[in-house]
Homo-oligomer: A and B are copies of this chain.
Amino acid sequence: MPDRSLIFPAQEYRARVAALQARMATDGIDVLLLTAPSDVFYVTGFLTRFWESPARPWFVVVPIEAAPIAVIPAIGADLMRRTWLRDIRTWDAPDPLDDGVSLLAETLRQVMPGAGCLGLPMGLETHLRMPLGDYHRLLTAIAPRRVVDATETVQRVREIKSEAEVGKIRATCRIADAAFARVPDFAHAGRPLDQVFRDFQIALLAEGADWVSYTAGGAGPGGYGDVISPADARPLQAGDILMLDTGAVKDGYFCDFDRNFSLGPPDDAARRAQAALFAATDLALERLRPGMRACDLHRMLTDALIAEGATPGGGRLGHGLGLSLTEWPSVTARDVTPLREGMVLTLEPGAEIAPGRILVHEENIVLRTGGPELLSTRAPASLPELRA
């Protein structure tokens, strides 16, 4: 039976660490310190929902020329032992007097004898998942070793997905495809939006999601107001556009795409917005190539929407995807990250139909040499109608 605590063969993780270590050499980093759930999972295969508890920090130390070391709360030792890591050091957490700081400092001093440069992700889209006070204590305990930003080190490696990873994301997309196909069964006029959200999550689980880390959506006459609000109890009604968006998880990998539905026939404005979003997405699917930058994709989508007579709206127009619901880069005018072969991305153009009324269209792709390969099943060209 598959040991779900590992997800991939050890070789996958070894290749990741080798890629990180090669990049560390380029960036002048001797040891990498990882604290975020997705970084820890990426290096070790340690997968748990226990991250939901903010009580304990978890550390993975990646020396430039040796295997990673886990410095973790004792409660995670059994699970970490089932991964490919062999050097696992634990303490009884949470400890108000010393919550792993001494053990981590001792480990860092050991792998950086004398001096050295510790890399820690501290740039855009990163968080230090340990108390800030303990971080300050750690700095003192490992002085005179320097700490530098390792955001590039981690992101340039993690953003290129292996075929094994692409396969996992595709599998999660398939689950969401199947759940979206069930929407007409439970969403119709008179049904409260919060019940629709529950039924959608149930459908995702029934189709094989391990868990549903994210659902969002909206519903309103001819369009919705925003895409991050929780559902209210308002019943769906004729003329509404309903959007459902999900970040379901299978084997630790996310999908992230939405689908729109019309309660009965959509009005002309919604029809036009849908046509523009569909055409803009088609254009990106046809023309996007490795070597373009995130801002080039933003420009491509924005220009296409305007050419189709739509007003761009709704936030960034896409982002990375994989071990988190969203990863870098961001499809914005300011993000100059090069888009490379093997990146998994969302294409997420949005259009403002009227003030406070938007429509957002989203697909998941992997970027190949010849252009995007869809991971989500392409949305229908016209808004599917639900019983009104």
Contact = CB atoms under 8 A, between A and B. Distances in A.
Interface in A230-261: 230-234, 247
Contacts of A209: 198
A131 interface: yes
A344 B4 CA distance: 34
A257 to B, nearest CB: 14
Contacts of A325: 52-53
A95 interface: yes
A201 B207 CA distance: 13
Given A94-B316, A96-B334, A229 B78 contact: yes
B230 A335 contact: no
Contact of A127 (B75, B127, B230, B335): B127
A92 B95 CA distance: 39
A359 to B, nearest CB: 15
Interface of A is mostly: loop
A125 B94 contact: yes
30 contacts: A1-B232, A1-B234, A2-B233, A4-B229, A4-B230, A38-B54, A47-B230, A48-B228, A48-B229, A48-B230, A49-B216, A53-B214, A53-B326, A54-B326, A55-B125, A55-B330, A75-B226, A76-B228, A78-B226, A96-B335, A122-B133, A124-B131, A127-B128, A127-B129, A127-B131, A128-B128, A128-B132, A201-B205, A201-B211, A210-B231
Interface of A: 1-5, 36, 38, 47-50, 52-55, 74-76, 78-79, 82, 92, 94-97, 99, 120, 122-133, 135-136, 149, 151, 194, 197-198, 201-202, 205-206, 208-216, 225-234, 247, 314-316, 319, 324-326, 328, 330, 332, 334-336, 356
